[in-house]
Amino acid sequence: MLARGRAPLPGAGARLARGPRGADILQRSSLLRKGPPAVTTPEETPGATPSRPGRPVPEGPPPAAPAAITRIFSGMQPSGELHIGNWLGALANWVALQDRHPCIFSIVDLHAITQDYDPAEMPARIRDMALGWLAAGIDPERSIVFVQSAVPEHAELAWIFNTLVPLGLLERMTQFKDKAKNQPENVNAGLLTYPLLQAADIAIYKADGVPVGEDQVQHLEMARDAVRKFNNRYGEVFPEPQPILSPARKVLGLDGERKMSKSLDNQIGLNDSPEVVWARLAPAKTDVRRKKRTDPGVPEDCNIFAWHGFFSSPEERAWAAEGCRTAGIGCRDCKQVVAKNIDAALAPMRERRAELERHPGRVDEILAAGAAALRPIAQATMEEVREKMGLDARVRYASTAGSGR
């Protein structure tokens, strides 16, 4: 599956050889040495249901990462404060995956500019996202964390993929149609070709595994198609990335209707204090049948009960279900248990974030080191690509520039 001539990921081979928890890692005095927050991955306890309150546990089977996968890429737009939807939907999986595979995680700022934004805010958004990732357990000792625009080869490869994929395919992408509907004033070409920049993000490092939710499978198919077209036309360079299907955890927001999102103001932030968590959770929508304390409800029709599924123990879930159906508990009682468990999950992240904020240069160092480690890999891939495509101007003319004057 791996393409020939792939540059090694710095440290990845050693990590694999020694195991992710090898002595070298134990000896490091990183700010992040405490490791990820308490997450029981299904891999650690196959088939187990959550047994400890206050621990966010991925639902269902673990991300199915085939053993042959050797390099994982994923990214997230710097869209503001991270919330528990980001955590349950992506970050918890990333934290689990870095135990098993070399991973590259990118803050994809070039994707973010396809929406309206304030340039003055972008650096802070990027930093905030990096802080949030590190606080959530992304470990720069095991994974590479960087900002997409720090490696300009992403954009160069995306342009090449632009010349290979038919327009009609891009126009059929569901996310393009949705985004074009959501921002009719700004249907820029980048919205259309967004999936090809995603393809380049993956291919530039010859990553062969990409964690995806069901809604992203179409984009990964596009990436696979783009690299296939390149390989067929110019010669084998890229592996076809495989989807690592993540457990489906669509997290609805406090309104109980729409996906959790900061722009909808229906979120609980990963850095929220217990007081803020409760202030936001207390008025959250519940089953409409429970107008009065004495009205029985249907827990399956309540978003708070879904959150019990993410954060509470089986005993607590059984207590909530029974109490809801019999009106034995009030919604306030029920929410207080969820709030307690959410806080138990967030507390280690808040602590780690506070520690990082006491050392402001640390995040910048991590992002700089990530870009420095990846640029040579991206440059090597582009040299290979240009050579296959007959685009040898950089080599042919670089040394003679100015000699004719």
* Active-site residue list: 179, 259, 262
- What is the DSSP secondary structure assignment for residue 299, as one 8-state letter? G
Instruction: Please say whether the beta carbons of 80 and 269 come within 8 A.
Output: no
Instruction: Please say whether the beta carbons of 40 and 57 come within 8 A.
Output: yes
Closer Cβ to ligand SF4, 227 or 302, answer by number: 302
CA dist 370 to 2, 142, 203, 209, 388, Å?
22, 11, 17, 19, 28
Q: How far is the CB of 292 from ligand SF4 (least distance, A)?
A: 12
What's the rounded Cα separation, in Å, for the pair 177 and 171? 8
Q: How far is the CB of 59 from ligand SF4 (least distance, A)?
A: 17
H/E stretch holding 371: helix 360-389
Q: How far is the CB of 333 from ligand SF4 (least distance, A)?
A: 7
Closer Cβ to ligand SF4, 243 or 299, answer by number: 299
Closer Cβ to ligand SF4, 50 or 299, answer by number: 299
Give me the amino acid identity at 398.
A
Residue whose entry in the numeric block shows the structure tokens 């357990």 = 137
Residue 101: count of CB within 10 angstroms of its CB? 24
Closer Cβ to ligand SF4, 173 or 337, answer by number: 337
Q: How far is the CB of 336 from ligand SF4 (least distance, A)?
A: 10
What's the rounded Cα separation, in Å, for the pair 320 and 325? 9
What's the rounded Cα separation, in Å, for the pair 257 and 254? 8
User: Cα 340 vs. chain centroid, distance in angstroms?
Assistant: 26
Dihedral angle sign, alpha carbons of residues 186, 192, 197, 198? positive
Q: How far is the CB of 305 from ligand SF4 (least distance, A)?
A: 4
Closer Cβ to ligand SF4, 302 or 356, answer by number: 302
Residues paired with residue 252 on neighbouring β-strands, in sequence order: 259
Question: How many alpha carbons lie under 13 Å from residue 200 in its C-beta half-sphere?
Answer: 29
Q: What phi, psi does 359 have (nearest 5°)?
A: -125, 75
Dihedral angle sign, alpha carbons of residues 272, 277, 283, 286? positive
Closer Cβ to ligand SF4, 180 or 252, answer by number: 252
Binding residues (CB under 6 A) for ligand SF4: these are 286-287, 290, 297, 299, 302, 304-305, 320, 324, 329, 331, 334-335
Q: How far is the CB of 308 from ligand SF4 (least distance, A)?
A: 7
Q: How far is the CB of 48 from ligand SF4 (least distance, A)?
A: 24
What's the rounded Cα separation, in Å, for the pair 352 and 144? 18
Instruction: Please say whether the beta carbons of 256 and 285 come within 8 A.
Output: yes
Residues paired with residue 75 on neighbouring β-strands, in sequence order: 106
Residue 252: count of CB within 10 angstroms of its CB? 16
Quick one: tokens of 254? 């406090």
